[in-house]
Amino acid sequence: MNFISNSSSTENGFVSFLSNLVCKVSDFGLSRVLEDDPEAAYTTRGGKIPIRWTAPEAIAYRKFTSASDVWSYGIVMWEVISYGERPYWEMSNQDVIKAIDEGYRLPAPMDCPVVLHQLMLDCWEKGRSDRPKFGQIVTILDKLIRNPASLRELANSSEWEDPTTPEFSVNTVDEWLEAIKMGQYKENFSSAGYVSLDSILYISVSELAKMGVNLAGHQKKILSSVQTLQTQGTHVQV
């Protein structure tokens, strides 16, 4: 199996695909051909490192290996299953570095199969020698494809919580959207006439789509929060 190795992000053109049993992980800036020695290290030639997608040892020493690429691959898996959610949400890069160092790892996206989230966690092992090799990842995914029943057990959706999200104690729709990191939709809600908290309590997926909230992950996050507002009404000032 041949590998084109890198450590970058979807924002910089991270691509992952499987073709004829050749796994490729590449981008436009840090790609290196490592056919002879997949464990060989390489360094960047300056420029910024995409912190949210980069393994801790690569951030610290600016040296990349297939093991650090596996970490990045795990982040991309999380992005895909969360329908394009931003890794670590609105946490600053320094907060991300600190959280990772203290053992924090991204929770399972909503409706994510347990086995896939476990694969992500394996990719995010602190010790690079403890992470799976790309060949092992391909084998794991192949087994899952051949046994779809293994994907039926879903991770607890209640884990889909932004670590920076406070308890709900909000007065307006704008405050609520900011609290769940969906502030980019303030104008959408306002234009659609959702100006009070009680007006959003029974909003539907179709209504969200009409408002321009088209990302499935964002729809699920908003609806999950609405359910929280319904069940924890004592925390909401309306």
Q: pTM for the full model?
A: 0.57
In a domain, 182, yes or no: yes
Residues 49 and 143 in one domain: yes
**Domain of residue 29, CATH code:** 1.10.510.10
Mean pLDDT value across residues 148-157: 79
Residues 137 and 171 in one domain: no
Spatial CB neighbours of 230, under 8 Å, sequence gap ≥ 6: 201
Residue written as token pair 């729709």? 173
* Residue among 3, 224, 189 nearest 107 (CA): 224
Please give the angle made by the CA atoms of 124, 125 and 128, to the nearest 5 degrees: 105
Residues 142 and 170 in one domain: no
In a domain, 44, yes or no: yes
Give 112's DSSP letter.
-
Tell me which range, 25-39, 143-157, 164-178, is most confidently predicted by mean pLDDT.
143-157
The pLDDT value recorded for residue 158 is 45
State residue 24 phi and psi, 5-degree precision.
Answer: -125, 130
Task: Choose one of 155, 186, 202: the last residue of a domain.
Answer: 155
Residues 16 and 131 in one domain: yes
Residues 63 and 126 in one domain: yes
* Residue among 89, 151, 85 nearest 118 (CA): 151
In a domain, 55, yes or no: yes
Q: Answer whether residue 15 shows pLDDT above 90.
A: no
Report d(CA 55, CA 72) in Å as an integer.
7
pLDDT band for position 213 (50/70/90)? confident
What is the identity of the amino acid at 64? F
The pLDDT value recorded for residue 171 is 83
In a domain, 160, yes or no: no
Residue 55 CB-half CA count within 13 A? 30
Percentage of the chain lying above the pLDDT 70 cut: 71
* Residue among 210, 223, 177, 173 nearest 195 (CA): 173
Residues 148 and 75 in one domain: yes
The pLDDT value recorded for residue 229 is 77
Query: Total structural domains in the chain?
Result: 2
Q: Where are the beta strands (DSSP E) in the chain?
A: 4-5, 15-19, 22-26, 32-33, 42-43, 63-64
Mean pLDDT computed over every residue of the chain: 77
Report d(CA 112, CA 197) in Å as an integer.
29
